[in-house]
Amino acid sequence: MPFYVMSQWKRLESAPPESLYPVLDSLNQLGEVPWVINKPILDLQIKIFREGGNKKLDIAPPSSKLDTSQFQDGTDAAAAFKRRVAINRARAEMHSLWCDALYKLSLANHYRDSVFWLPHNLDFRGRVYACGPHVSALGADAQRALLAFARRRALGPRGLHWLKLHAINLTGTMKKATVEERLAYADSIMDKILDSADRPLEGERWWAESEEPWQTLACCMEIANAVRSPNHEEYLCGFPVHQDGSCNGLQHYAALGGDAAGARAVNLAPLPRPQDVYSAVAALVEEMRVRDAAAGVPAAIILENFVHIEEFPKEHVWTCSQYLTAKTFDSLREMFTSTKLIQDWFTDCAKLISAVCGESVEWVTPLGLPVVQPYYRRAGPSSGQYRPALDQHQRPCTMKQRNAFPPNFIHSLDSSHMMLTGLHCEAAAVTFVSVHDCFWTHPNTVDIMNKVNLTLTELYKVA
């Protein structure tokens, strides 16, 4: 194996076995959750796929449906050649996406009557991924909607409450609303939710306007089944409800730096109304742009009144993108006082470790996983032959080591928090699945999982 792999492997071999048990237990916990295919959703996706696909619903159409009128006709041989090349490239891309959709739907159809499991693996930072790339919770909306828990649990007194809330969350239309406002909205459009469940393709198609249409439709169907059951509290449900993190990287920086204002901005502190840090950053960038435009800065003047990138003049894309990048980081420094200081300290440490000491940056996560950054200078020609393999005499690549350390370290902390949450949920007999910072569980156990999710504070007490 290459040296950069062996270096972390040696750390793992030398670590006491019991120090790795929490990480391995977490992988086992995630992999032991049984799944089934949501057959009504699968049947609808297959129907749309066979009828020519639907780009808006992320069901790839065949390459024969390519609209060639969008490609400009050439007035000379060179332009005509470019048009043919562009059309062939677009057809190849469409065919690739169509084959991918065919494979995923075929795989889901193969398991439509089976219970299956998704083993999990982790990368060098400790971030966890499901091994099956085609039908898993890591997939896009259409693939996620195909999954349901094989173990069904009664909704209980608050399960329907969480199903309604989840349906509205999936639409993405009420991100700044309180929980009470979202529930009231769900009740006010219950006729649309039920129509979506009963007539997904022939009715009003409310679900199709959602940010996550297929998951919204699956949730509508589950709500319809629950409200029409004799007692919704006893209705057995296998539908997974998600609890999403918001700006997890900034949440960890706020916790590391004890930044109370930053914690409120990224919903780390309990507030009745969710905070939207993206809108706050955008507003701050716009304030800076207005000041710069008044001072005569060309990029700030060019950006005046532009919203849609498709309309933006191509000759100014590079200059203005660089300007916006700088202003975005300036606004983040202003909003999160400790984040930039911590990042600078991380990069300074990585520079000293790699450039002065000649070592890779390495650390141990709160759950005991040793991490070694695998970034080394590539070996050059030697004796007329190129040596792609790394060896123990190669020095670390300082630039990669310093640039990668802050995000890699935060990813390892985020993964540790996820693992802690999963282990606590397992101890409480709560089904738990993670897609990085998005946690899944049964509707009746969301409240329990949310209490367990407070292990983030425990993580930093330990750290």
As annotated, the active-site residues are: 244, 314, 437
How far, in Å, CA of 277 to CA of 264, rounded?
10
Map tokens 């190129």 to a residue. Answer: 386
Give the CA-trace dihedral at 37, 43, 46, 48, to 10 degrees.
-130
Q: CA 130, CA 145: separation in Å to the nearest integer?
A: 16
* 455-462 helix and 398-427 helix, angle to the nearest 10 degrees: 130
Using H for helix, E for strand and C for coil, what is the string for the chain? CCHHHHHHHHHHHHCCHHHHHHHHHHHHHHHCCEEEECHHHHHHHHHHHHCCCECCCCECCCHHHCCHHHCCCCCCHHHHHHHHHHHHHHHHHHHHHHHHHHHHHHHHHHCCCCCEECCEEECCCCCEEECCCCCCCCCCHHHHCCEEECCCEECCCCHHHHHHHHHHHHHCCCCCCCHHHHHHHHHHCHHHHHHHHHCCCCCCCHHHHCCCHHHHHHHHHHHHHHHCCCCHHHCEECCCEEEECCCHHHHHHHHHHCCHHHHHHCCCCCCCCCCCHHHHHHHHHHHHHHHHHHCCCHHHHHCCCCCCHHHCCHHHHHHHHHHHHHHHHHHHHHHCHHHHHHHHHHHHHHHHHHHHCCCCCEEECCCCCEEECCCECCCCEECCEECCCCCCCCCECHHHHHHHHHHHHHHHHHHHHHHHHHHHHHHCCCCCEEECCEEEECHHHHHHHHHHCCHHHHHHHHC
Q: How far is CA 350 from CA 356, 363, 446, in A?
A: 10, 11, 40
